[in-house]
Amino acid sequence: MSSRTASLRSLSRATATTTATSPGIRLFSATARRAAPSAHRALVFREHGALNDALSAHTFRALSPPGPGRVNVRVRLAPVNPSDVNVVEGVYPNKPSPETLLPPDSGGTQDFSVAGGEPVQSVDGGEGTGEVYVPGNEGVAEVTAVGEGVSGLEVGDWVVFAKTQPGTWASARQVGARDVIRVDKDAGEVTAAMLSVNPPTALCLLREFVPLKEGDWIVQNGANSAVGQLVIQIAAQRGIRTLNFVRSREEQANNALVKHLGALGATHTFTYDALADRTLTAHIKQLTHTAPPRLLLNCVSGPQTTGLLRLLGQDAQLVSYGAMSKQPLALPAGAQIFRGLVARGFWMSAWYAAHARKEREALLEEVVRLKLEEPRHTVFTVQAGWSDEEAGRRVREALGVQGRSPGGEKVLLRVEDPVV
């Protein structure tokens, strides 16, 4: 947990020296924090498939100096979100742009053009040439070079990515300066790496659909997910009471989870299995009779979510932001006709696309001020000394099918530049 105040506009400056290699381009000097890398590495997929089957690691040529309006960054940490898993599987609406492979020792000029004309870097497949995709929709990176005409960014600054699907599962990227937002280093790597997706999602879910006030109740499933834990914390800060539902586990593990969510501010936590007992429904109705819940947050779908509808009051909203069960969501016509139930969807990428940069920055600033506790996590480092073959194998083993650790913690990736 990072309890230190972090402002997007209160910035710390790097002390590394810089040198001009050409007009308007500022780079790390050879005597700065580290020598310029001779190559970088990315986790990629060529074809859609299961995470532990489709991913591989590939080394690519060191980034060229950034052109006008662009910056080079070293990715410090990038999370594995459920949407990233869905991207690799091919079931997510957004996906990275295809990138052309260029090995470190290839001649000629680095080609930064891809379909659609959006400049990106190229990666080396190690197995010939062709197009690959680099997953990763968020992360924190450090600026290593600044192109001509870029203002407000300096070498050493930390940034998060403002563009959809920037491909953060890599050691380095070249991006447009407009596609990153500077953040204070006091936020810490883990908080900054997960700043732009889950916390804003939780905040928007609580404020954009039902006007909530202190003392109100909400219901959510997937309460132990990253977003679910953040919803609990934000709601608790505002005096909003939460009914949280999780899947059944072994008794000791279930008790530990209930205790953990309670420490975050959960009012009550139940299992889906317990909901099958009608006495629980009656108990919840009694708890909430003065302010029946009018908001149900859904990231699971399937029949278990349908069962939660009976806990809602009149004119409630069901807001879906995920479907981790990969099952359809059935809505009883009676709930819609007689109780005024409204079903909505929320997608953070669509929110970003519909709002100006200043609004996006303001949202992230608000998130930072909340000082939310980081979800349980583990960092997996793709080590510099590993070959691409070993790196790919270890990543596939570590992420499995769902992209989570064996203990269920969120995984964050640190991809080091390879030794070549």
Render the burial of 26-46: b for 16+ CB within 10 Å, e for the rest.
Answer: bbbbeebeeeebebbbbbbbb
Q: Which residues contact 250 (CB under 8 A, 6 or more apart)?
A: none
pLDDT of residue 351: 95
Per DSSP, what are the bridge partners of residue 381? 414
Number of Cα atoms under 13 Å in the Cβ half of residue 31: 2
270: left (phi over 0), alpha (psi -120 to 50) or beta: beta
Quote the pLDDT of residue 13. 34
User: Per-residue pLDDT tens for 286-295?
Assistant: 999 999 999 9
Report percent pLDDT > 90 for the chain.
71
Check residue 259 and give its pLDDT: 95
- Interval 345-374: pLDDT, tens: 999 999 999 999 899 999 999 999 999 998
pLDDT of residue 107: 59
8-state DSSP, 383? -
- Return the pLDDT at 374: 84
Q: If you count them, how many residues does the chain have?
A: 420
DSSP string, 76-117: EEEE--HHHHHHHHT-SS--PPPEE---TT--SPPP---TTS
CA angle (315 as vertex; 312, 320 as ends), nearest 5: 65
Average pLDDT over residues 60-80: 96
Average pLDDT over residues 87-104: 86
Give the residue numbers marked as catalytic.
92
For the segment 9-34, what is each residue's pLDDT rounded down to a tens digit?
Answer: 333 333 333 344 445 555 544 334 55
Instruction: For 249-259, write each residue's pLDDT tens digit.
Output: 888 888 999 99
For the whole model, what pTM was predicted?
0.82
Q: 126 with 60: CB under 8 angstroms?
A: no
The two three-digit tokens of residue 90, written as one number? 């091919």
Enumerate the β-bridge partners of residue 160: 140, 181
Q: pLDDT tens for residues 101-111?
A: 587 876 544 44
| Confidence bin at 285 (pLDDT 50/70/90) | very high
Determine the average pLDDT of the residues in 166-175: 96
What pLDDT shows up at residue 32? 44
Going along the chain from its start, the domains and CATH numbers come out as 3-194+374-415 (3.90.180.10), 198-347 (3.40.50.720)
Mean pLDDT of 131-140: 94
